Amino acid sequence: MLADQGVPTLVHADIWAGNIIVQQNGAGWQITGIVDPGAEYADVELELAYLESFNHPRPAFMQVYTRRRPLRPGYPVRRMIYWLLTYLIHVWLFGAQQYLDITAKLAAELRQKI
């Protein structure tokens, strides 16, 4: 399921609304800073999936993102795998029941896709 990975790209690896600084300029919005990067080289879909795992990107963001970088076929399943990675890390770091529950639910859904 991960055979169709994109070219490894430097990604933030912990991107969410609290870890980016944006400012509005005449042409729209611009990222002016990043906070707390866990930078790594990965498929850019990993970064997008991370954002989606916590429902951070708004529809306007996704529209602009996919216009600039169309999603490759199979992204919905790869996104689930990347989500599983994200939630497992959160289980390990925080151990909160909410992460245990969502990880178990996602693993069951992913198992049906295999």
Ordered by where they begin, the domains of the chain are: 9-113 (3.90.1200.10)
Confidence category of residue 2, pLDDT binned at 50, 70, 90: confident
Distance CA(7)–CA(50), nearest Å, equals 18
**How does the average pLDDT of the chain come out, rounded?**
88
Burial class (CB in 10 A: 0-12, 13-18, 19+), 78: buried
For 9, the 3-state DSSP assignment is strand
**Could you tell me the pTM of the whole model?**
0.81
For residue range 6-23, list pLDDT tens digits in order.
889 999 888 887 888 989
As a whole number, mean pLDDT of residues 76-105 equals: 93
